[in-house]
Every structure is written in structure tokens, then in C-alpha cells.
Structure 1
Amino acid sequence: MTQASRLRDLLAQDRCHIMPCCFDALSAKLIAQEGYELTFMSGFAASASRIGAPDLGLMSYGEVADQLRNIADAVDIPVIGDGDTGYGNAMNVRRTVQGFARAGAASVMIEDQLAPKRCGHTPGKAVVGRDEAFDRIRAAVDLRAELRESGGDILILARTDARHDHGLSEAIARAETFAELGADILFVEAPQSEAEMREVCANLPGPKMANIVEGGATPDLPNAALHDIGFSIAAYPLSVMASAMQAMVTTLRHMRQDERPGQMDFVELRRRIGFDDYYDASERYASSRRDHSG
């Protein structure tokens, strides 16, 4: 079963999947180890981790695809990749979808922001016109069809940020057309109340994703409430990275005072990284080492 097929099966379930977002291979591995069934490579978190810079369109397509490849190689759960605006026109979108599929993504997110894009919960973002937005999704869907003809597969997660400048009705209208064009998952970014979240889900078909940024514009509701509203996925793009950053800052401040705060012990650290699995697998080849030493 492909990761795309696994993701489809998850979306067919009557539940809202909690999806912590990763930023590198290690964070993705920890998410999988804790039993989560899918993850998302957050563009915000990946930009911070890989280049130490804000999510303002500074990472190139090549850097993003490389980060995604490392993440997908590290885990056996579906990974959704943040494809931003597709890095150009409709032909660039096609290349992005194809590259993400080759990197191992189960799904690729394509959005309608004006390049360079911005985090959906920060000021200054704007969206392209409807025609260009629809062309991006049409190109992504066309490439998905071509992949299937050759045995590949990937889901299209279509995002609109139109709520910010044009209101919720425009955002819903765009997402509705995304669905008509063949998008598999719909994502209306930054609804600003529970009532708006309910309006989104009531007016759109198929699986919907909520994006929960602690301190952001969208209410941070319990998972049961998100399921009741109609969401299939609840993405938490910054929770893991924010926790990791807080732990690192705390450790660094304690070390300046020659103190050691509580931290993961060395045995568990090695196990989670994969040392134990490596040693267990290497025992299959121990006979050659013994023969050589004898």
C-alpha cells in the first residue's frame, strides 16, 4: 500500500486526526514513535530549522524537496509536504507535485497566496486572482492523474488564504472550486471563530483540514469539537518546534550557570534515534566479523 493510499484510508474514517507537524527527520521520527498516524512538514518550522529564517518564501524548491525527502525516508507514516505556491506558474506547480511524489510525500499542499508567500497567521499576505489560483490546482490535479497512469500517486491539499483580505465567502467559493477541480483535501486558512469554522465545513465537500496555531487567529478547540464541526485533520504546525525551542533555550540558560536541567537520558535518546535498531540489524552480519577476527 502506498502512503497516498494510507492517507486516503485515514481520511475515510469518521474522526478528526490530530496531526503534529514536523520540521526535520528527527521530529518526524518522534511523532511516529508516539503513535501519530500522519504528519505534515510545516513550511514555517522547516524554514526555521533548516535556514534559521522566517517563513517568508526564502527557502527554495530544492531545499524544501530535500528536507521532505529526508523526512519521508525516516518514517513509515503518511507525510504531507508544504508546496507553498508551487514556486512559480502552473508548470512550476506540476514540477513541485512530481518532485514531492518522488520524495515520498503522500500529499502536497498548494496555496493561492501571492509569492513570496507568508505564514497564514502573520500580516502582509495576499492572494492571487481566482483564475491563477484555479490554474495552480488544475495543474496539480493534472499531474496527479499522470502519476497514476505510471503507477504513482499523491493527494492534492488545496489551500486558500482569501479569508484575510476578501472575507470568508470568497475563501469558501475558492475552496469549492478547488474541490470541483479535483482537490482531495480542502484547507481554508485562518477562520477567526468557531462559527466561521462551522460555516467552512457546512459549505464544503470532502475532507477538510483545520490549522491550529497556538496564539493564532483560529480558535484552539478540543479535538472532539473539531470532529463535530466537520474537520478530518487538525494540524498543529508549531507545537513540536515551539516545545523543542523552549527546551533548548532552557538548557542553554541553565548551562551558563553550570546547571543541568532535566532532560532525556542517554539510553532513551539512543533508542529513539535508532541505535538499538541499528545494532540489532547488524547482528545478522556478525559471522563475517567473527570469521575475519579468527
Structure 2
Amino acid sequence: MSAARTLRSLLAQDRCHVMPCCFDALSAKLIAQEGYDLTFMSGFAASASRIGAPDLGLMSYGEVVDQARNITEAVDIPLIGDGDTGYGNAMNVRRTVTGFAKAGCASVMIEDQLAPKRCGHTPGKAVVGRDEAFDRIRAAVDAREEIRAAGGDILILARTDARHEHGLAEAIDRAARFAELGADILFVEAPRTEAEMRTVCAELPGPKMANIVEGGATPDLPNAAMHDIGYAIAAYPLSLMAAAMQAMVRTLRGMRDDRRPDLMDFAELRTRIGFDAYYAASERYASSRRTPD
């Protein structure tokens, strides 16, 4: 089953999928190893990891697609890629969707922010006008249909950030039009209360995704509540990166004072990275049995 078909089957289930977000191949492997059904390549976290810079449109299309390809080659669970604003006009959006499909993504997110975009829970973000927003999703859906006609597949995750500038009603109106244009998953970013989250899910069709940033604008509710509200996916874009950064900073500070950190066992570390699997596979080939450096 293709990644896109697997994602469709997950979305058809009567549940809210907890989706920890990855930022590189290793973080994606850990998510898969812990039994999660899907993941999302967080633009915020990937930008921090790959170029050490904030998610303000600094990563190029090529860098983002390359990061996504590294992830899909490392795991079998569906990956949703962050296509940002599509990196230009509607024709760029088409190329973005095609590129993410070729990279093995199950879905790609296209949003209506002005470029360069900003994190959905940070100040200063703005959205394009309705016509341009709709053109982006129309172009994404057209690209999806061409990919299907050629034997491939990908889902379109349509995101609006209109809540920040224009209020919840405008955000819902935009998302409803995205659905009419053929988007597969809807994402109204940064509702501010549980009541707003319920309104979003009650008024919009199909699968909806929530974006839960610890300390962000949207309430961090238990998964049972997210399911009751009507979400199909609860994304956690920064949890793993924030945890990893916290652990690295603590370790670095402890090493300065000659304190030994509390680390993952070396044997487990090797197993999770893939050394044991490599050694087992290499036993078939005499010339490969030498332990790699």
C-alpha cells in the first residue's frame, strides 16, 4: 500500500491520531519505532535542525524536499510534508506538490500565509487575499490529479492562518472553500479556545488537523477530548525538538562541571540507529562482514 493510501485508511478510522512531528530521519525513526502511525515534518523544527535558523522562509524548496526525502527513505509510516506557501505562485505550488510526491510524502501542506511565512503561533503573520489562497489550493489539487493519472498519489492538506488577522469566521470560510476545491485534510491554524476548536470541527467537512504547540495559542487538550471535538489528527510540531534541545543543553552544562549525563544505553542507541539490522543483513555477504568505521 502506498503512503498516501495508508494515510487515507488512517483518516477513515474513528479516532484522533496523535502525531509527533519529526525534523530529520533519526527523529522520524524514533517515532516509527515507538509505534506511531504517521508523522509530519515540522518546518519549524526542520529549519532549526538543518540550517540552525528560525522558520521564517529561510529554507529553500530544494532543502525542504531533500529533508523530506531523507525521512521517507528512513521510515515506512506516512509522512506529511510542510510545503509552506508553495514557494511562489500557483505554478510553483504545482511543482511543490509534485516534488513532495516524488520524495515519497503521503501528503503535503499548502497554506495561505504571505511569503516569507511565519510560525503559526508567533506574531507578525499575515495571509494573502482569498483569490490567491484559493488559487494555491486549486493548483495543488490539479497537481494531485495529474500525479494520480500517472500512477502516483498524494493528499493535499490545506491550511489557513486567517484566524489571526481576520477572525475565526473568515478562517472557516476559507477552509470550507478549500474543501470545495478538493483538499483532503483541513487545518485551521491557532484557534484560541476549546469552543473555537469545536466550531471549526462542527462547521467544516472531512478530516481536520489540530496543531498543538506547547505554550502556543491553541489549548493542549487530552487526546480523548480532541477526538470528541472532531479532530482526526493532533500534531505536536515542537515536542521532540524541544525535548532534545533541553536534554542537549543540560548535558553540555553538566559536562562543563564534570558531571556525567543520564544517557540512553549504548546498546539501545546502536539498535535504534540500525547497527544491529545492518550486521544481520551483512551476514549474507562475506565482503561486507567487516565492521564499518
TM (norm. structure 1) is 0.97
- Alignment partner, residue 12 of structure 2: 12
- Alignment partner, residue 50 of structure 2: 50
Q: CA deviation at 1:286?
A: 2.9
User: Where does structure 1 differ by over 4 angstroms across 4 or more consecutive aligned residues?
Assistant: 287-290
Which runs of 5 or more residues in structure 1 are unaligned?
none
- Alignment partner, residue 213 of structure 2: 213
Q: Deviations over 1:155-204 (max 9, x none)?
A: 00000000000000000000000000000000000000000000000000
Alignment partner of 1:77 is 2:87: no
Q: Tell me which amino acid in the other structure corresponds to 2:148.
A: R
Alignment partner of 1:222 is 2:222: yes
How many residues align structurally? 290
- Alignment partner, residue 186 of structure 1: 186
Q: Tell me which amino acid in the other structure corresponds to 2:88.
A: G
Alignment partner of 1:147 is 2:135: no
- Alignment partner, residue 176 of structure 1: 176
Cα separation, 1, equivalents of 2:288 and 2:104: 34
- Alignment partner, residue 258 of structure 2: 258
Q: Percent identity?
A: 85
SS at match of 2:283: helix
Cα separation, 2, equivalents of 1:272 and 1:289: 20
Q: Deviations over 1:88-135 (max 9, x none)?
A: 000000000000000010000000000000000000000000000000
Q: Tell me which amino acid in the other structure corresponds to 1:149.
A: A
Alignment partner of 1:242 is 2:224: no
Moved more, 280-289 or 70-79: 280-289
Moved more, 11-20 or 281-290: 281-290
Q: CA deviation at 1:268?
A: 0.5
Q: CA deviation at 1:287?
A: 8.0
SS at match of 2:285: helix
Cα separation, 2, equivalents of 1:65 and 1:284: 34
Q: Tell me which amino acid in the other structure corresponds to 1:178.
A: F
Alignment partner of 1:195 is 2:174: no
- Alignment partner, residue 67 of structure 1: 67
- Alignment partner, residue 117 of structure 1: 117
Q: Tell me which amino acid in the other structure corresponds to 2:36.
A: Y
Q: CA deviation at 1:208?
A: 0.1
Cα separation, 2, equivalents of 1:79 and 1:249: 29
Q: CA deviation at 1:265?
A: 1.2
SS at match of 2:57: coil
SS at match of 1:14: coil
TM (norm. structure 2) is 0.98
- Alignment partner, residue 35 of structure 2: 35
Q: Deviations over 1:231-263 (max 9, x none)?
A: 000000000000000000010000001111211
Q: CA deviation at 1:289?
A: 6.8
Moved more, 260-269 or 16-25: 260-269
**Aligned residues of 2:283 and 2:289 also touching (Cα < 8 A):** no
